[in-house]
Amino acid sequence: MPEYFLMDVGLTFAPKSGKWSLGAYVNNILDRRYDVTRQTGLNGIFGIPGTPRMVGGRLRVDF
């Protein structure tokens, strides 16, 4: 299995009051194809693929 690395990035904005925050993130920003695990059996090679690029956001509110 060739070597690889994964890169994630995130950014969070929060006002000075600190009562809320808003964030965005990208996991696996380079969209690397990789296997979390790989096994060789009689019928071939089987692997569990890793998570592809994923983009999301977060909103947090404190009461």
pLDDT tens readout for residues 18-62: 899 999 999 999 999 988 888 888 788 888 999 999 999 999 999
Closest CA to 24 of 42, 40, 12: 12
The verdict on pTM exceeding 0.85 is: no
The answer on pLDDT for 15 being more than 90 is yes
Per-residue b or e along 16-41, where b marks 16 or more CB atoms closer than 10 Å to that residue's CB: eeeeeeeeeebebeeeeebeeeeeee
